[in-house]
């Protein structure tokens, strides 16, 4: 398999990364060499093998439904790019 | 012997005996950082005032008789750990202005132990790299030869230990990021069993593989540090609830009867001759100490790199979606709408390697490709882990080289991602299986660059691995050698 330049641009758009033609061209060659490396695993017969998502068999712990955190929103919002009245500011989404 | 040559155990004893204060120690290392860091670039942030304040608090604790075993010993932290009030950049422009509002669990533990921070060490951007060249803050230089890379991603941590700018450092290892730089810089580093050290506040790369661990000159040092770092944390959903261990307990156990497994795949084509010779010499040394060897096979380990470059980017593309210019970090100065703000922020804030991995991840998880890539990789991950389980039926520990070669020149592999990825050939399998692995120095090549050997143990066998490494280090001096011309 080989990615086209349009594929590269589509992937960049899925990843929300702006990319111009020159960058897409450079990325295309590098991504294709990486996917050539990845392709070596396609030949392995894995029928009947259970996928391994995690190194340890862990289960989500439950805890009592009580407040454990203090209110630190001022500290957390102090490092945000744009904040007003306790709200994160972003460009207008709905006209 | 100068202060900066002393082991952590020695420093702790001198602190307890009031022969030296934590402030004096911190001052000694800060002076070395001042003198050596401009050439090596191992630190992103140094803040002498903060360090000395923490050291003074440690001295007060010692004076009050409330010291723990390592109170007052300073340590350098990889800049991937959120540290309250310190810039935490993860080596990225994206977090250039980020001052963490809380402490990572690992940082909390070092603070509770009374160990002052010497600063935040340089690293590959978001821990993605094997040479420390992808850092927004510039490459780290290998203290053994400044034209060579220190390895990565914990390159700053390894280099600062090799140059004795710190007696101890924290690192993280997703595919070899503690062990490979430890090997390339001639120090000792350990990646624990997945789940032993909390990931809370450790900026995520690939969550099912990321694990923090200690880096220091010797195995004894690493055992002491591991005692500080491990423990259950309810803030990490994969943190393991187990009884606390003392990782120094087996250091002095003789090696008679130890069965070392040598995987034939780790000594096959692709391994540098000088590395092979040094590792074989180390095996001979361990046999003199009473160990026996057994040939084993990790047949599917050859697939570890392709599997890793599906799974790690997939997890990274999800983890790094949080960097969108809204809640923290960089935001592009100009944009037309919300989507444009995301796309420009991420295009400008991330470096080339990080973007490459996010794109690989987005692709392998995208509609129509999931089964062929992600699911297939997860199945082979199982085969790789099963190989290890079978091997541990016939041996106690697995031994091989840490990396296929010694340090390479700055810029030598930075244009060829695949060539760079192959550096982690021997380290990735342990991450995929979640097993503990460590690297320790076992010689030098003809260029005077350090060679590392790797031990991989069964789950929770850290004390055994540290025992073997310590016994080896009692009869060899590779780990105590230091680069010439730095002092």
Instruction: Specify the pLDDT at position A55.
Output: 86
Please name the residue ranges forming H helices in B290-337: 304-319
pLDDT at residue B108, as a whole number: 98
- The residue to which tokens 């880096």 are assigned: B215
Three-class DSSP category at B114: coil
Chain A residues whose beta carbon lies within 8 Å of the beta carbon of residue B383: 44, 46, 49
Cα(A73)–Cα(A83) distance, rounded to whole angstroms? 11
- Quick one: what percent of chain B has pLDDT higher than 70? 100
Looking at residue B367, its pLDDT comes to 86
Answer whether residue B487 shows pLDDT above 70: no
Tell me if B473 is assigned to some domain.
yes
Strands laid side by side in the B169-173 sheet = B43-45, B117-121, B75-78, B169-173, B211-216, B188-191, B437-444, B450-457, B397-401, B259-263, B292-296
pLDDT at B340: 97
DSSP alpha helix (H) spans, B365-457 = 376-391, 417-421, 428-433
Q: Does A62 touch chain B (CB under 8 A)?
A: no
Which candidate from B328, B335, B359 shows the least CB-CB separation from A80? B328
Q: What percent of chain A has pLDDT over 90?
A: 80
Domain for residue B204, yes or no? yes
The confidence band for B66, taking pLDDT boundaries of 50, 70 and 90, is very high
For the stretch B400-424, pLDDT in tens is 999 999 999 999 998 888 889 999 9
* Out of A72-76, B280-284, B427-431, least confident range: A72-76
Alpha helix (H) ranges present in B64-186?
105-112, 155-162, 179-185
Q: B306 CA to chain A: closest CA distance, Å? A: 4
- ipTM score here? 0.95
Q: Which parts of B64-135 fold into alpha helices (H)?
A: 105-112
pLDDT at site A93:
87
Asked if residue B314 belongs to a domain, the reply is no
Residue B487: inside a domain, yes or no?
Answer: no
Query: Residue holding tokens 């780790």?
Result: B266
Q: Is A42 helix (H, G, I), strand (E, B) or coil?
A: helix
* pLDDT at res. B449: 98
B177 is catalytic: yes
Mean pLDDT, chain B, whole residue set = 97
Q: Looking at CA atoms only, how far is residue B442 from chain A in angstroms?
A: 29
CATH number of the domain residue B80 falls in: 3.90.1300.10
> Would you state the pLDDT for residue A63?
87
Domain encompassing residue B425: 3-241+404-480
Hey, is the C-beta of A70 within 8 angstroms of any chain B C-beta?
no
Please report the pLDDT score of residue A1 as a whole number.
Answer: 64
**Between chains, do B343 and A88 touch, taking CB under 8 Å as contact?**
no
pLDDT for B55 equals 98
Query: What pLDDT is recorded for position A69?
Result: 87
A73 interfaces chain B, CB cutoff of 8 Å: no
| Domain-embedded: residue B320 | no
pLDDT grade, residue B1 (50/70/90)?
low
Contacts of A52 in chain B (CB under 8 A): 378-379, 381-382, 385
Query: How confident is the model at residue A94, as a pLDDT?
Result: 82
pLDDT digits (tens, 9 = 90+) for B288-346: 999 999 999 999 999 999 999 999 999 999 999 999 999 999 999 999 999 999 999 99
More confident site: B322 or B367: B322
Res B60: pLDDT = 98
Prediction pTM value? 0.97
pLDDT in tens, A12-60: 999 999 999 999 999 999 999 999 999 999 999 999 999 998 888 777 8
- Cβ atoms of residues B159 and B142 within 8 Å: yes
Task: Tell me the domain boundaries of chain A.
Answer: 5-43
Tally of domains within chain B: 1
Condensed to tens digits (0 to 9), the pLDDT of residues B114-168 reads 999 999 999 999 999 999 999 999 999 999 999 999 999 999 999 999 999 999 9
Instruction: Please tell me the predicted confidence (pLDDT) of residue A12.
Output: 97
Distance from CA of A25 to the nearest CA of B (A): 13
pLDDT for res B204: 97
Exposed, middle or buried: residue B28 (CB in 10 Å: 0-12, 13-18, 19+)?
A: middle
Question: Could you tell me where the DSSP H helices lie in chain A?
Answer: 5-14, 21-39, 73-77
Digit-coded pLDDT (tens) for B183-238: 999 999 999 999 999 999 999 999 999 999 999 999 999 999 999 999 999 999 99
| Residue-level pLDDT at A21 | 94
For chain B, state the CA radius of gyration.
21
**Half-sphere exposure (CA, 13 Å, Cβ side) for B201?**
24
């Amino acid at each position: 398999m080989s990615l086209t330049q349009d594929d590269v641009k589509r992937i960049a758009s899925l990843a929300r990364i702006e990319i111009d033609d020159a960058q897409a061209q450079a990325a295309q060659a590098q991504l294709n060499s990486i996917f050539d490396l990845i392709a070596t695993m396609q030949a392995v017969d894995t029928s009947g093998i259970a996928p391994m998502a995690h190194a340890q068999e862990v289960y989500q712990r439950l805890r009592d439904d009580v407040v454990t955190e203090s209110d630190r929103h001022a500290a957390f919002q102090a490092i945000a790019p744009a904040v007003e009245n306790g709200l994160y500011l972003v460009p207008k989404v709905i006209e | 012997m100068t202060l900066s040559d002393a082991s952590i155990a020695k420093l702790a004893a001198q602190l307890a005996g009031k022969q030296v204060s934590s402030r004096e120690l911190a001052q000694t290392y800060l002076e070395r950082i001042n003198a050596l860091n401009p050439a090596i670039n191992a630190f992103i942030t140094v803040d002498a005032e903060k360090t000395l304040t923490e050291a003074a608090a440690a001295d007060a604790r010692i004076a009050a008789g409330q010291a723990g075993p390592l109170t007052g010993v300073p340590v350098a932290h990889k800049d991937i750990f959120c540290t309250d009030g310190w810039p935490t950049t993860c080596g990225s422009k994206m977090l250039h202005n980020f001052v963490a509002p809380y402490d990572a669990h690992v940082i909390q533990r070092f603070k509770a132990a009374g160990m002052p921070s010497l600063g935040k060490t340089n690293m590959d951007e978001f821990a993605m790299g094997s040479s420390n060249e992808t850092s927004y803050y510039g490459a780290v230089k290998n203290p053994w030869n400044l034209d060579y890379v220190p390895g990565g991603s914990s390159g700053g941590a390894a280099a600062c230990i090799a140059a004795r700018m710190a007696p101890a450092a924290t690192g993280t290892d997703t595919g070899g990021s503690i062990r490979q730089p430890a090997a390339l810089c001639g120090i000792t580093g350990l990646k624990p069993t997945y789940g032993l050290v909390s990931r809370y506040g450790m900026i995520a790369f690939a969550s099912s593989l990321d694990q923090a661990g200690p880096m220091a000159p010797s195995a004894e040092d690493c055992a002491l540090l591991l005692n500080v770092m491990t423990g259950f944390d309810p803030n990490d959903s994969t943190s393991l609830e187990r009884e606390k261990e003392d990782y120094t307990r087996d250091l002095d156990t003789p090696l008679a009867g130890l069965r070392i497994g040598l995987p034939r795949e780790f000594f096959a084509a692709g391994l540098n001759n000088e590395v092979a010779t040094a590792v074989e010499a180390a095996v001979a040394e361990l046999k003199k100490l009473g160990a026996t060897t057994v040939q084993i096979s990790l047949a599917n380990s050859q697939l570890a790199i392709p599997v890793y470059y599906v799974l790690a980017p997939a997890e990274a593309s999800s983890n790094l979606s949080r960097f969108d210019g809204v809640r923290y970090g960089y935001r592009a100065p100009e944009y037309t709408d919300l989507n444009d703000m995301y796309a420009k922020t991420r295009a400008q804030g991330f470096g080339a390697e990080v973007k490459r991995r996010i794109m690989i991840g987005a692709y392998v998880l995208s509609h129509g490709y999931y089964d062929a890539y992600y699911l297939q990789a997860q199945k082979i991950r199982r085969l790789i882990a099963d190989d290890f389980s079978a091997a541990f039926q016939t041996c106690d520990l697995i031994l091989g080289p840490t990396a296929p070669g010694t340090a390479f020149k700055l810029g030598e592999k930075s244009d060829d991602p695949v060539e760079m990825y192959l550096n982690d050939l021997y380290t990735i399998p342990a991450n995929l299986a979640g097993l503990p692995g460590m690297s320790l120095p076992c010689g030098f090549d003809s260029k005077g660059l350090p060679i590392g050997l790797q031990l991989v143990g069964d789950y929770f066998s850290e004390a055994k691995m540290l025992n073997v490494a310590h016994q080896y280090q009692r009869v060899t001096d590779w780990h105590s050698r230091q680069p010439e011309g730095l002092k």
